[in-house]
Amino acid sequence: MRYIEDDLQDKTILITGGAGFIGSNLAFYFQKNHPDAKVVVLDSFRSGETLSNGNLKSFGHFKNLIGFEGEIISGDINDKDLLLDLEVNYDFDYIFHEAAISDTTAQEQDLMIKTNVNAFKDLLDLAVAHNANMIYASSAATYGNAESPQRVGREAPNNVYGFSKLSMDHLSRDYMKKCDISIVGLRYFNVYGKREYFKNSTASMVLQFGHQILAGKNPRLFEGSDKILRDFIYIEDIVQANIKAMQPKRSGIYNVGTAKARSFQDIVDILQKELGTSLECEYIPNPFIGSYQFHTEADIATTKEALGYEPAYEMEEGIKAYVPEIKRIYETEVK
């Protein structure tokens, strides 16, 4: 689906983190719907380097870009020489900033702030130099355990990732005051959908439960999973919000969710229905009590008003649309 009617012919678009989950979906959206635009993907790609928790430092994977015909640059947003090269040798009209240390369990505070906050300032300066609109990924992690529904202005991050994203939002507001470019921060809630597999253990529980079920294993849920509620949003609605944020004079920070909290039990029940299974669930103690979000629900009133955003996928519809890809990934990558 095409979300804006604007002609992007001769426009140049930079997508940082473009080999990751959301960035790659944006790249293919433009290739399909705006083939006359020039799309440049920048990603550090995975190298095997891990964080102290054992998870990969970068989730970028070439397989997320198979079929993409635009320009691809392998590089780190912390590399100031690279950013200088981008400033001198390109002329961007739009920057979609998806690159980040996005692992919420990462303990490297120095790397998190350097990559998520300091490099973002450099990219804002690049946007100003090119008079480019900036659309960037913020996060519902900024809210921590704040009361639902979560609203902009009620932040209480409880990990360094959420803190870094909130710091990005503070920085962007400062630039909004002194610069003429449009700057839009999108606070993603729990995203699931195509091209997330290479996030490994940080991929959505929709995918992880789907693969458990396809393997014939009983789905393993935390005790009380019917009461652990999150705002799960399908990737197509994330893309929609990003594209609608390209409109001029939309600067601000907006939630991107469905405004409906659903349970992990719901995910398993819908998957079993779509996959034609009736496996018995296993319930295990939740080891994350005290550091776990038990209820997230996005207040999207201002997102609707400012961006014209309207979520198109209920969880039932999103999972149904996703199931063929869950099956394909299971056959080609998991088995």
Task: From 159, 171, 160, 157, select the one nearest 109 (Cα to Cα).
Answer: 160
pLDDT string in tens for the chain (335-residue length): 888 878 899 999 999 999 999 999 999 999 999 999 999 999 999 998 888 988 888 999 999 999 999 999 999 999 999 999 999 999 999 999 999 999 888 889 999 999 999 999 999 999 999 999 999 999 999 999 899 999 999 999 999 999 999 999 999 999 999 999 999 999 999 999 999 999 999 999 999 999 999 999 999 999 989 989 999 999 999 999 999 999 999 999 999 999 999 999 999 999 999 999 999 999 999 887 766 678 999 999 999 999 999 999 999 999 999 999 999 999 999 98
pLDDT for residue 290: 64
Helices (H) and strands (E) in the chain, counts: 10, 13
Q: Are 22 and 235 in contact (CB under 8 A)?
A: yes
Task: From 189, 202, 185, select the one nearest 296 (Cα to Cα).
Answer: 189
pLDDT for residue 50: 87
Q: Sheet with 183-188: list strands edge to edge.
A: 71-74, 38-43, 12-16, 94-97, 133-139, 183-188, 252-256
Distance CA 209, CA 205 (A): 6
Tokens matching residue 287: 């080891």
Q: Are 116 and 130 in contact (CB under 8 A)?
A: no
DSSP H helical segments within 260-314, as ranges?
264-275, 301-307
Q: Which residues are catalytic?
A: 161, 199
**Assigned superfamily of 12-334:** NAD(P)-binding Rossmann-like Domain (3.40.50.720)
Q: Looking at the DSSP assignment, which residues form a beta bridge with residue 134?
A: 95, 183
Give me the count of residues in the chain: 335
Cis peptide before 285 (omega within 30 of 0): no
Give the domain ranges of the chain. Answer: 12-334
DSSP state of 39: E
Q: Are 213 and 271 in contact (CB under 8 A)?
A: yes
CA 295 from centroid of its chain's CA atoms: 19
pLDDT for residue 292: 65
